[in-house]
Amino acid sequence: MTLRSLPNLLSAMRILCAAALPLLTGDTRLWLCVYAVAGISDVLDGYVARRRHLESSMGALLDSGADTLFMLASMASFLRIFPWPSWLTAWVCALAFIKLTTAGLGWYKYRTVAFIHTRMNKISGIVVFFTPPAILLSGSATWAVLPCLVASFASIEELCITIVSSSHSPNVPSLRALCRATSREDTQSPCILRHRMQRTGQGVYSSDNAAGRDDVRHRHLAGTETMRETGSDKPDAGPERTHDDV
């Protein structure tokens, strides 16, 4: 095993943990241990990839896929350990519908699985991760309200980014940052175009400058011809003044 493949191996380990969770619902402690290992692998793979500069498109796709499988397996197995109330089930189904809509729209626009690592998605993942242990320890489903609110905001923001963005970028921090970057590009584009036109000699700006340079060159040549005809090294400055004129 090389260091370069370590982040992908951690993501693969999270996929194995996700596959094992539905089989461990009879033992709550063992289920929580495997759940914790999967969560730690989620933190480590991103940290190692950023710290060692091992980011790749394949790694980002594998990480997002492992997160999705882990979330689905956690919810499915957690339902068998702790039955959910109807309001929580409806909320989770609505979130799943938004996620599926975003994925379908991303595939239609970019022809790829469009996962976006926004700040709210990261915060949502952290909050959702601590929810099952909190519910199991407290015995109350009200602990799921906060993570559902955070996940709802993150899912809607991700959908909006997919709608607005013209090209897929997995590392968009937020919808606000995307709008700022888009407005900055729109503001700078006329200046950049003008600068390029002046440098390449195209457009009205460079044509005016070229016409001015040609006019100066013609005047200089006309003055040179006049000096040659008069036989003087200096241009004609008019009749010379004498003391009698004064």
CB-based burial label for 173 (10 Å; 0-12, 13-18, 19+): middle
Which residues make Cβ contacts (< 8 Å) with residue 201, sequence separation at least 6? Answer: 210
Q: Return the residue matching tokens 């015995």.
A: 139
Q: How confident is the model at residue 1 (pLDDT cuts 50, 70, 90)?
A: low
CB crowding 140-155: b at 16 or more within 10 Å, else e: eeebbeebbebbbebb
Length, in residues, of the chain: 246
* pLDDT (0 to 100) of residue 197: 47
pTM listed for this prediction: 0.65
pLDDT for residue 203? 43
Could you tell me which of 40, 56, 51 has the C-alpha nearest to residue 8? 56
- CA atoms of 13 and 7, how far apart (whole Å): 10
Percent of the chain residues topping a pLDDT of 70: 74
Instruction: Determine what percent of the chain is predicted with pLDDT higher than 90.
Output: 30
- Is the pLDDT at 196 greater than 70? The verdict is no
- Is the pLDDT at 115 greater than 60, yes or no? yes
Asked if pLDDT for residue 188 goes beyond 70, the answer is: no
Residue 124 pLDDT > 50: yes
For the segment 223-235, what is each residue's pLDDT rounded down to a tens digit? 555 555 555 554 4
Looking at residue 168, its pLDDT comes to 84
Mean pLDDT of 107-126: 87
Concatenated DSSP letters for 67-125?
A: HHHHHHHHHHHHHHHSPPPHHHHHHHHHHHHHHHHHHHHHHHHHSS------HHHHHHH
CB within 8 A of 174, min separation 6: which ones? 118, 119, 120, 157
Task: State pLDDT tens for residues 56-74.
Answer: 878 878 888 888 889 888 8
* Whether the Cβ atoms of residue 103 and residue 158 lie closer than 8 Å to each other: no
The Cα 98–Cα 123 span in angstroms is: 18
Residue 214 pLDDT grade (very low, low, confident, very high; cuts 50, 70, 90) = low
122: pLDDT strictly greater than 80: yes
Contacts by residues 52-60 (CB-CB < 8 Å, ≥ 24 positions apart): 52/3, 54/3, 54/4, 54/6, 54/7, 57/170, 58/8, 59/7, 59/8, 59/11, 60/115, 60/117, 60/170
Nearest-5° angle of CA 138, CA 143, CA 144? 135
Q: What is the mean pLDDT of residues 84-99?
A: 90
Which residue would you say has higher pLDDT here, 246 or 224?
A: 224
Q: Of the ranges 16-20, 43-47, 65-69, 192-196, which is most confident?
A: 16-20
Q: What is the mean pLDDT of the chain?
A: 79
How many whole angstroms separate alpha carbon 74 and alpha carbon 67? 10
pLDDT band at 206 (very low <50, low <70, confident <90, very high): very low
